[in-house]
Amino acid sequence: MIYAKKICLFDKKVVILQRFMAKIGVFDSGYGGLTILDAIRRELPEYDYIYLGDNARAPYGTHSFDVIYRYTLEAVNYLIGKNCALIILACNTASAKALRTIQQRDLPRINEQMVNDKMVNVLGVIRPTVEAVPAITQTGHIGILATPATVSSESYVLELEKISRQLTVTQQACPMWVPLIEAGEHNSSGADYFVEKYIREILTKDPQIDTLVLGCTHYPLLKEKIEKVAKHIGVIAQGDLVAQSLADYLSRHPEYTSQLSLNGSCTYLTTENADRFSQSASQFLSSPIQAEHINLE
Ligand code: DGL
């Protein structure tokens, strides 16, 4: 009897320890989410993070809803299994196609199965971006550069409409940009060609655009090239907007902050070759990293 009680106490201690060791998960189809992770870690360096890039199955942006939802849910489940209490979909495509279904259909079931007051939430990158844009534009004409899946979801148009009816929103799908970046070809003349092509197309659709939103977390790697073509137009990357929004969220949600551990660490996981990921990731981050390979399914 006494022995059983001891085991119980021990178990409880382990569970409580685990509860206070939760991390923040940051997920993207590939390297793009590193632009968000970098900004989040600058804003909130004290927390522990797990970055997961599904590089083996990127790009997501040309897939159907079903495939993007299934891949994203697999990643979310994996990160929950790694004790992440908060998961940021640092991918517009996943945020546009999978976030709502995961929040409404999967999270209630997942949270019901959690024990010892543990809770999990999944957040996206579109809402924090949309909230910042109306204050930036002068003409009220906004351009959204995104993957074909994000464009077809109309998420940016619908979310911006909710905030202000005065805005004119024009979208441009840029299907070649993510493959170029994933292949490490974003500094090539091929990238010049495709940057010029999509920027010309969107500015032909609406010449009054004064603000271009990089609605894909890979695109900051092309920001300089985009700015050269889109002269005198503001080009907005999402990193800082998402980081500030997460800081604000944490300050309002002690039920999550109380679960999170504070060692300032980050683990990098990829479904691709770990050495290739580690090498390419250094272009997105200020210091070298060593990633681990994992399988999703
Ligand atoms: N970084 C993802 C996004 O923000 C890229 C999606 C893809 O893999 O095509 O949309």
Distance in angstroms (rounded) separating the CA atoms of residues 224 and 201: 18
Identify the pLDDT of residue 7.
43
Residues 6+ apart with CB under 8 A from 242: 36, 39, 40, 88, 90, 125, 128, 129
DSSP state of 138: S
Identify the pLDDT of residue 20.
67
Identify the pLDDT of residue 210.
98
Distance in angstroms (rounded) separating the CA atoms of residues 67 and 266: 28
Cβ neighbourhood burial of 196 (10 Å; 0-12, 13-18, 19+): middle
Identify the pLDDT of residue 19.
56
Considering 8, 84, 174, 216, which one is annotated as catalytic?
216
Instruction: Establish whether 174 is a catalytic residue.
Output: no
DSSP 203-270: HHH-TT--EEEE-STTGGGGHHHHHHHSTT-EEE-SHHHHHHHHHHHHHH-HHHHTTB--S--EEEEE
Distance in angstroms (rounded) separating the CA atoms of residues 275 and 206: 43
DSSP 80-126: HHTTEEEEEE--HHHHHHTHHHIIIIIHHHHHHH--TT---EEE-SH
Residue ranges of the chain whose pLDDT lies below 50: 1-8, 10, 15
Token pair 């024990």 is at which residue? 115
Ligand 1 center from residue 219 Cα (angstroms): 9
Residues 6+ apart with CB under 8 A from 62: 147, 148, 149, 175
pLDDT digits (tens, 9 = 90+) for 82-126: 999 999 999 999 999 999 999 999 999 999 998 777 899 999 999
Judge if the beta carbon of residue 60 lies within 6 A of ligand 1. Answer: yes
Judge if the beta carbon of residue 147 lies within 6 A of ligand 1. Answer: yes
Question: Which of 60, 63, 65, 171 is the pocket-test mutation for ligand 1 (most atoms within 8 Å of CB)?
Answer: 60
From residue 254, give the alpha-carbon distance in Å to each of 143, 181, 187, 217, 247.
Answer: 36, 37, 43, 28, 12
Ligand 1 center from residue 241 Cα (angstroms): 17
Instruction: Establish whether 216 is a catalytic residue.
Output: yes
3-state SS assignment for residue 272: coil
The atom number, within ligand 1, closest to the CA of 29 reads 8
| HSE-up of residue 62 (Cα within 13 Å, Cβ side) | 9
Distance in angstroms (rounded) separating the CA atoms of residues 265 and 278: 16
Which pair of structure tokens corresponds to residue 233? Answer: 């137009």
Ligand 1 center from residue 145 Cα (angstroms): 11
- Taking the whole predicted model, whether its pTM rises above 0.95 is answered as no
Ligand 1 center from residue 175 Cα (angstroms): 10
Q: Are 247 and 44 in contact (CB under 8 A)?
A: yes
Token pair 């010029």 is at which residue? 196
The rounded radius of gyration (Å) of the Cα atoms in the chain is: 20
Identify the pLDDT of residue 282.
83
